Amino acid sequence: MGKRQRRRVRDQRASVVPQQPSPDDQGRIAADKATARLRRLVDQLAVIDREIDAEIDRLEGWGFSWPTIARALGVTRQAARQRYLRQRISTPAVDPSSAEALVGSSCASRHR
């Protein structure tokens, strides 16, 4: 069988058999499935982190000590306290009306 005849046979088979995705397409499809699962896991982690933060705030508000909270988290008292206090300091909850008052007072002090 010559080169042309092999090509004709291959072309005939291709017209009868539906075209399969190329290996590159199959790899991309598999990667998309794998990364989709990873994205779902990361989203779940973010939700769980927010729930943990809320629970720690609640326990701290009830007067539980950091060693008690740390034991529940499975870390040291210092690690628990540093993580959650540092996080609270980096994103302070500010009342909009007090923020305006702060901005107004800082602007007034600059103009004196």
- Digit-by-digit pLDDT tens for the chain (112 residues) are 788 887 777 777 766 655 555 666 777 777 887 788 889 999 999 999 999 999 999 998 999 999 999 999 999 999 998 888 877 776 655 555 554 544 454 444 444 4
pTM for this entry = 0.50
Specify if 78 maps to a domain: yes
Specify if 65 maps to a domain: yes
Specify if 45 maps to a domain: no
Q: What is the CA radius of gyration of the chain?
A: 30
Specify if 59 maps to a domain: yes
Specify if 18 maps to a domain: no
Assign 62 to helix, strand or coil.
coil
Note down the domain range covering 72. 50-92
Q: How many CA atoms within 13 Å lie on the side-chain side of 102?
A: 6
The angle, 0 to 180 degrees and rounded to 10, between the axes of the packed helices 66-73 and 23-61 is 160
Is residue 77 within 8 Å of residue 63, measured between CB atoms? no
**Looking at the 3D structure of the chain, how many domains does it have?**
1
Specify if 66 maps to a domain: yes
